[in-house]
Amino acid sequence: MQIKIFNIPVGADEGAVEEMNHFLRANKIIDIKKELAAMDGNSCWTFCITYMLPNRPAEPDNARLGGSGKVDYKEVLEPTAFERFSQLRKIRKKVAEDEAVPAFAVFTDAELAEMAKLEEITPASLEKIPGIGKKKIEKYGNAFVPAEPKNSDETDRIPNG
């Protein structure tokens, strides 16, 4: 993650605004905080922008063979596993927003697909999935490990089969 700060004087010419807009269009923006501040007796808007550099994806292994590199998990997973996968993606999105990180930094789609195939999601079962280590489990695992239901009507659990 990167941080960039823009100070734009109130009533500034369009050049300063366009410079910031160009920056915003060129990068993946995670968060913007703005504040009206006084500098040298003049008012200006201060923008603190948290962003990620634009992705320059490496060529997927199967790109040389004519494949797109994307997996359609609806076709790959059983219907019940795909339903769990979809729910896991919603959880991942919320965790990523709360942590201000891209979703793939929490868990990749491939890792979520493997989770969706599990009979039960536990810290021990997560550790067996390639790419998921103890640190990821400690940081994000609790959001994905279903809590014991308080009663049989609990609906927030991830369906496990």
- When pLDDT is cut at 50, 70 and 90, the band that residue 54 belongs to is low
Q: What is the pTM of this model?
A: 0.51
- The mean pLDDT of 149-154, rounded to a whole number, is 44
The percent of residues in the chain predicted with pLDDT above 90, rounded, is 24
What one-character-per-residue DSSP string does the chain give? -EEEEEEEETT--HHHHHHHHHHHHHSEEEEEEEEEEEETTEEEEEEEEEEEPPP-PPPPGGGTTT--S---HHHHS-HHHHHHHHHHHHHHHHHHHHHTS-HHHH--HHHHHHHHH-SS--HHHHHTSTT--HHHIIIIIHHHSPPPPSSTT---SPP--
Q: Which range, of 9-23, 85-99, 104-118, 141-155, averages the lowest pLDDT? A: 141-155
Q: Which domains does the chain have, with CATH numbers?
A: 2-52 (no CATH), 69-144 (1.10.150.80)
